[in-house]
Structure 1
Amino acid sequence: MLGDKEVLDAVQGYIEERGESLAEPLSGASAITWHSLLKGQIVRSIESRSEEKHLHPGPLDLSDHPVYDTIDDYQIPRPRDPAEQRTQKMVRRGSIDERSCACGNGEIRCPRCEGEGRIRCEQHQPCGSCRDSTCCLLCDGAGRSALKPAEKQAVAVSMQKAGGDRGDRTRCYECGERDVACVTCRGRGRVQCSTCQGGGSRPCPDCAGDGKVTHEHCAGTGRTVEWTEGTITRAPRTDEVRLPEPGVLYWARRLAEQHATWTPTTLTDNDPLRACVQKDFGSALKPLLRPHHQEVARRTKLEYVRFAKVAVDEHPHRIYYVFPTLKGTTVVRCPSPRRTWQIAGIVASVLLLLVLINRFIA
């Protein structure tokens, strides 16, 4: 852990290595400001327990499931890795109920055809070509014709032997006139049902004409199994640790990420950094270390660094940061806040001048 003297010696050595002189050696701690940073993760294993009734169609072997009496009293080992997801399913003792289904043999009467095996439908359907309005331009499908029944039958036979129609109109089956009827229904205004082929019924598509379907409740097995299932789930939850809060010591934090050696800490009772970290972060750290509801395990992976910020009276425009490293210390020189504002003011003035010159020339 760095001390005041070590910090001042490091800054003085840094200044002298660059050929700059000091009126007198740096001494005292009045120019030193200490800062601490903490980063990392706390991974917690959060446990939840629940019970739910289940129904399985058909036989089911649950003998490989652990048995419990009270879900809250059932114990399972602590997780070795809190980041691992785990789910344990169990069966409550005495809750398994295997029984025969009310259907008897796994089948029930088909609800669509009500057990008849066939579905009724209309023998004829309206003609899609003439739409019942122009089936015949003369009789409109009414069939009022001067042809006698025998003549009408002869016309129908001759049209069938012709082997096809010509144009978009043909002879009407009803009145016998040529080139006046729809070629699809031939003047009738309706066509035979394509599903039942005019029979008035068709096999039920659900039961395929059998009149019975599989009972979904038991999946056709005639048996069911009911039981109460207990579930213990352990899910990881990760809390990011970044103290102080983002935005605080922004530039110092960036420099520490680049130049400092961070020390791992677990904040356990035997951790030598525990007291120091708790002193530095106090109330901000306390809620992060407090056990969460239903927490059964945790893994803490944190890194800590303590560094110094030094202001030297002879160099008022500079700030020196001293970071601990594996080889000792590293000193980083930065402009002081006052100097930073001066530079920003100069840059803004130059930009403004360039804008005015550009407007003048234009």
Structure 2
Amino acid sequence: MLGDDEVLKAVQSHIESRGKPLAGPLPGASAITWHSLLKGQIVRSIESRSEKKRLHRGPLDLSDRPVYDTLGDHRVPPPRDPAKPYSRKLVRRGSIDDRLCACGNGVVRCRRCEGEGTIRCAPRQRCHSCRDTTCCLLCGGDGRSALKPAGKQAGPPAHTAADTADRGRCMECGEPGVACVTCRGRGRVTCPTCQGEGSKPCPDCAQDGTVTHTHCAGTGRTVEWTEGVITRTPSTEEVRLPESGPLSWARKLADQHAAWTPTTLADDDPERARVEKDFGATLQPLLRTHDQEIARRTELAYVRFAKVAVHEHAHRIYYVFPTHGRPTVVGRPSPKRLWQIAGIAALVIVLLTLVNGLLA
């Protein structure tokens, strides 16, 4: 762990290595502030248990599944790796009901045709070829013309060429050129499915009279049982402390230059006390046990670094990070220097604007 003396020595060496000798030693001519960063993730294993009735159509061997009496009391070893999903199916003791189906052989009588293999069909159907649904322009399909008074034979009415196109002789009234050529004025045609027989094959059973039994899916056997399912789902929570603030720039530098110290925050972790001291109030909610959590893995990394302001170099801020060897020092413009640069840039823009205006 870095100390004040080691930090000041590293900063002084850094400044002098760049050809900027100091008037005297840094102590008393500098200010040190210490900061801490924490990053990583917490992986939790969240367990859920459910129970429901199951039905399998056909034979099924359940002998390889664990048996339980009360699902909530069934013990399962904790996961070795909380990040690995886990699911296990169990069978409640005494719940297996393996039996032959009531259908006997997997088939039942067809309800649509009542086992006959055929269903009723209309021998004759409405003709779909009649123009404007009028099978005969003269008699309408009943063999009698409204233009023929009783006891008299009147001539056919005058029709246009469009009316009589594709028209034939009516088989009801005998008039040529007025009837639908498909039904010949009758308005109905023989059913193409049953050919006028009045019955057709049942589409459900294909004339067999029987269909597959839905309950057993044609197997003639069913297995029912109560199934318990234990599922463990990993949940990962990212840790980044502090979550926001002025250390965002320093965090980038720490990721590049610092040697982060791994910590699990276990009871025997030497870094636990310091981490809890630095982030106690913010860290506690992250470490709180979640609902249905049965295991966790904490993978965190911690770094404590120094921020040094040197009076002789007020325009610079020096960040000192611990490494596996000598500390690493990174210099950056101070906030005051950044404001000066921003002010100069703004002034240049204003002057350029005025010059362009004068030249225009």
1:73 corresponds to 2:66: no
Which residue in the other structure is 2:14 paired with? 14
Amino acid at match of 2:340: Q
Which residue in the other structure is 2:180 paired with? 182
For residues 135-173 of structure 1, what are the alpha-carbon distances to aligned partners after superposition, in whole Å with 9 as ceiling and x for unaligned? 22333323348xxxxxxxxxxxxxxxxxxxx96233333
Q: Secondary structure at the match of 1:261?
A: coil
Q: TM-score when scaled to structure 1?
A: 0.86
1:133/1:257 CA distance change after superposition, 3 Å: same
Amino acid at match of 1:88: R
For residues 210-239 of structure 1, what are the alpha-carbon distances to aligned partners after superposition, in whole Å with 9 as ceiling and x for unaligned? 332222112223332211111111111111
Which residue in the other structure is 2:4 paired with? 4
> CA–CA distance in 2 between the matches of 1:117 and 1:24?
112
> CA–CA distance in 2 between the matches of 1:76 and 1:248?
47
> CA–CA distance in 2 between the matches of 1:64 and 1:329?
60
> CA–CA distance in 2 between the matches of 1:64 and 1:289?
39
For residues 156-196 of structure 1, what are the alpha-carbon distances to aligned partners after superposition, in whole Å with 9 as ceiling and x for unaligned? xxxxxxxxxx9623333333333332233232222222333
* Per-residue deviation, 1:131: 5.2
CA contact (8 A) 1:132 1:190 kept: no
1:246/1:216 CA distance change after superposition, 3 Å: farther
Amino acid at match of 1:73: D
Which residue in the other structure is 2:291 paired with? 293
- Any stretches of 5+ residues in structure 1 without a counterpart? 146-165
Which residue in the other structure is 2:167 paired with? 169
CA contact (8 A) 1:133 1:140 kept: no
Which residue in the other structure is 1:302 paired with? 300
Q: TM-score when scaled to structure 2?
A: 0.87
Between 114-123 and 3-12, the greater mean CA deviation after superposition = 114-123
Amino acid at match of 1:58: G
Amino acid at match of 2:65: H
How do 1:177-256 and structure 2 match up within 5 A? 177-256=175-254
CA contact (8 A) 1:120 1:201 kept: yes
* Per-residue deviation, 1:100: 3.4
* Per-residue deviation, 1:306: 0.9
Could you tell me the percent identity over the aligned residues? 73
* Per-residue deviation, 1:307: 0.6
Indicate the RMSD between aligned Cα atoms, in angstroms.
2.3
CA contact (8 A) 1:126 1:132 kept: no
Between 333-342 and 292-301, the greater mean CA deviation after superposition = 292-301
Which residue in the other structure is 1:318 paired with? 316
1:255/1:226 CA distance change after superposition, 3 Å: same
* Per-residue deviation, 1:282: 0.7
> CA–CA distance in 1 between the matches of 2:347 and 2:176?
101
> CA–CA distance in 2 between the matches of 1:193 and 1:351?
92
> CA–CA distance in 1 between the matches of 2:343 and 2:128?
85
How do 1:81-92 and structure 2 match up within 5 A? 81-92=81-92
Which residue in the other structure is 1:163 paired with? none
Between 169-178 and 76-85, the greater mean CA deviation after superposition = 169-178
1:107 corresponds to 2:107: yes
Which residue in the other structure is 2:47 paired with? 47
* Per-residue deviation, 1:206: 0.9
Which residue in the other structure is 2:133 paired with? 133
Between 269-278 and 123-132, the greater mean CA deviation after superposition = 123-132
1:96 corresponds to 2:96: yes
Q: Secondary structure at the match of 2:320?
A: strand
Which residue in the other structure is 2:156 paired with? none
> CA–CA distance in 1 between the matches of 2:194 and 2:335?
92
Question: How many pairs were matched up?
Answer: 342
Which residue in the other structure is 1:123 paired with? 123
Which residue in the other structure is 1:38 paired with? 38
1:196/1:343 CA distance change after superposition, 3 Å: farther
Which residue in the other structure is 1:161 paired with? none
Amino acid at match of 2:118: R
For residues 113-143 of structure 1, what are the alpha-carbon distances to aligned partners after superposition, in whole Å with 9 as ceiling and x for unaligned? 3444322232222222225633223333233
How do 1:331-342 and structure 2 match up within 5 A? 331-342=329-340
> CA–CA distance in 2 between the matches of 1:254 and 1:305?
12
1:246/1:59 CA distance change after superposition, 3 Å: same
CA contact (8 A) 1:132 1:189 kept: no
> CA–CA distance in 1 between the matches of 2:274 and 2:321?
17
* Per-residue deviation, 1:247: 4.4
> CA–CA distance in 1 between the matches of 2:71 and 2:131?
69
For residues 222-266 of structure 1, what are the alpha-carbon distances to aligned partners after superposition, in whole Å with 9 as ceiling and x for unaligned? 332211111111111111111111445111111111121212222
For residues 196-217 of structure 1, what are the alpha-carbon distances to aligned partners after superposition, in whole Å with 9 as ceiling and x for unaligned? 3332221111111233222211
1:118/1:349 CA distance change after superposition, 3 Å: farther
* Per-residue deviation, 1:74: 1.7
Amino acid at match of 2:256: Q
